[in-house]
């Protein structure tokens, strides 16, 4: 069958050429002075420095009212404030010294494209008394904030899509940022120099499913009697003629019987014996204890799809992946998030953290526009 003709305009990707502004504003009649170097650092002299600092939160203010600027800030001002580059070879020399300035310059420009103020961590004055962990690259203020008088709203990090993920470190950073009352934002840049922004947060799945403790003695006896008729099949069990099966969140009805996965059977047996499940099932036990209903999530690339209510009542709001099976790189993580959001679900990575389970939610995010 022939492909349908589709008429659409592809999104134009910015190439950010050197020597050409991205802004449509007219340049000043008197060309601006380029940044100058002193003691290995780059500076912009007044009066331009004061205007960039006060209006755009660019640079670190010095006693002589000049500002110390990073490579990404110089490029941002070059593209949007008509600032000349220090020399024709300046960027090439900067890349040879630190190849990551390529990514940071694009990330910095993208993060500020909506009008938000992003300030690199090294430009935050100590007198502001803002604690900044080493993992944080920059702090973000909303566009309507006065950055010199108000606290930032977010800590920001970044990575290439090919970088590996330390999920425990991500949870530690996210948890710490939340304790400060701020958002945890992550920027991922791909080999096409395109940037995707993510918000990291903690989610507490919960539902309304019956637990073993809520059943009456007669209901428990009926469940135990039916469990005694089970027939092993594959990794799970089939219970024939399970007409009086009261535990609706455990197993699925099919072929006039009840089909239980391995983990569900282990839970039923442990409940009947009044024993604790093996530690290998700790995450499953935690989720069941939250009253949610668990179904296989293999069609969505995750361990479980998780419901608040019975399956037929509403869609599963969550897809949960244990940390040991979570994506190893940001490229794979971005794919998992894109898939889950494409089916209107939240992708969660589950990790043990401070004697409890932490469900890390990663979602695509546009500050000021979400």
Please write the tens of the pLDDT for every residue from 296-306. 999 999 999 99
- In this prediction, residue 4 carries a pLDDT of 57
- Pairing status of strand 356-364 against strand 304-307: unpaired
Q: Say yes or no to pLDDT of 92 above 60.
A: yes
Q: What does the pLDDT read at residue 239?
A: 96
**Dist CA 250 CA 288 (whole Å):** 10
Residue 204, judged by CB atoms within 10 A of its CB (0-12, 13-18, 19+), counts as exposed
pLDDT confidence tier of residue 312, bands split at 50, 70 and 90: confident
Indicate whether 51 belongs to any domain: no
What proportion of the chain, given as a percentage, has pLDDT over 90? 88
**Which domain, by its residues, includes 272?**
210-285
Look over the chain and give the mean of its residue pLDDT values, rounded to a whole number.
Answer: 94
The predicted model gives 16-30 an average pLDDT of: 91
| Percentage, residues of the chain above pLDDT 70 | 98
The structural domain count of the chain equals 1
pLDDT in tens, 181-209: 999 999 999 999 999 999 999 999 999 99
pLDDT at 221 over 60: yes
Residue 2 has pLDDT above 70, yes or no: no
In a domain, 227, yes or no: yes
Average pLDDT for residues 281-285, to the nearest whole number? 96
> Is 62 part of any domain?
no
What is the band of 230 on the pLDDT scale with cuts at 50, 70, 90? very high
Asked if residue 110 belongs to a domain, the reply is no
Strand runs labelled E in the chain: 36-38, 41-44, 60-61, 67-69, 117-120, 138-141, 154-160, 183-189, 195-202, 231-233, 236-240, 252-254, 257-260, 293-296, 304-307, 318-322, 346-353, 356-364
Instruction: List the one residue out of 305, 314, 322, 317 whose CA is nearest residue 360.
Output: 322
134: DSSP letter? T
Does any domain span residue 242?
yes
Residue 94 domain-assigned?
A: no
Q: What is the pLDDT of residue 369?
A: 75
246 belongs to a structural domain = yes
- Residue 178: CB atoms within 10 A of its CB come to 15
In the block, residue with structure tokens 């500050």: 367
pLDDT of residue 222: 95
User: Given the structure tokens 């992003």, which residue do they identify?
Assistant: 118
Query: pLDDT at residue 1 above 60?
Result: no
Specify the DSSP class assigned to residue 153. Answer: S
Rounded mean pLDDT of 321-349? 97
Nearest to 152 by CA among 109, 121, 186: 121
Whole-number pLDDT of residue 6: 64
Residue 210 has pLDDT above 90, yes or no: yes
Which sign does the torsion angle of CA 17, 22, 24, 29 carry? negative
Phi/psi at 261 (5° precision): -70, 170
Residue 14: what pLDDT? 82
Residue 170 lies in a domain: no
């Amino acid at each position: 069958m022939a492909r349908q003709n589709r008429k659409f305009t592809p999104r134009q990707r910015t190439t950010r050429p050197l020597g050409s502004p991205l802004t449509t504003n007219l340049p000043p009649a008197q060309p601006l002075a380029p940044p100058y170097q002193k003691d290995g650092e780059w500076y912009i002299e007044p009066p331009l420095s004061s205007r960039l600092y006060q209006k755009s939160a660019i640079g670190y203010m010095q006693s002589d009212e000049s500002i110390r600027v990073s490579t990404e800030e110089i490029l941002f001002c070059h593209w949007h404030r008509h600032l000349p580059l220090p020399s024709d070879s300046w960027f090439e020399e900067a890349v040879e010294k630190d190849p990551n300035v390529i990514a940071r310059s694009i990330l910095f420009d993208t993060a500020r494209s909506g009008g938000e103020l992003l300030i690199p961590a090294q430009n935050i004055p100590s007198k502001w008394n803002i604690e900044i962990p080493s993992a944080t690259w920059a702090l973000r203020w909303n566009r309507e904030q006065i950055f010199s008088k108000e606290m930032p709203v977010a800590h920001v990090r970044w990575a290439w899509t090919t970088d590996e993920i330390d999920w425990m470190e991500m949870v530690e950073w996210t948890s710490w940022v939340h304790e400060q009352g701020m958002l945890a934002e992550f920027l991922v840049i791909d080999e096409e120099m395109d940037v995707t922004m993510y918000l990291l947060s903690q989610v507490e799945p919960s539902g309304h499913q019956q637990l073993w403790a809520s059943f009456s003695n007669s209901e428990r006896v009926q469940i135990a009697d039916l469990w005694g008729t089970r027939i092993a099949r594959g990794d799970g069990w089939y219970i024939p003629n399970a007409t009086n099966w009261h535990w609706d969140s455990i197993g699925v009805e099919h072929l006039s019987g009840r089909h239980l996965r391995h983990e569900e059977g282990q839970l039923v047996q442990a409940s009947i014996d009044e024993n604790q499940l093996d530690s290998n099932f700790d995450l499953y036990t935690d989720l069941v204890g939250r009253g949610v209903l668990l179904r296989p999530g293999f069609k969505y690339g995750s361990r479980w799809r998780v419901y608040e209510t019975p399956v037929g009542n509403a869609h599963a709001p969550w897809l949960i992946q244990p940390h040991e099976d979570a994506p190893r790189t940001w490229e794979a993580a971005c794919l998992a998030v894109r898939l889950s959001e494409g089916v209107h679900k939240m992708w969660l990575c589950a990790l043990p953290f401070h004697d409890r389970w932490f469900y890390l939610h990663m979602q695509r995010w546009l500050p000021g526009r979400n």
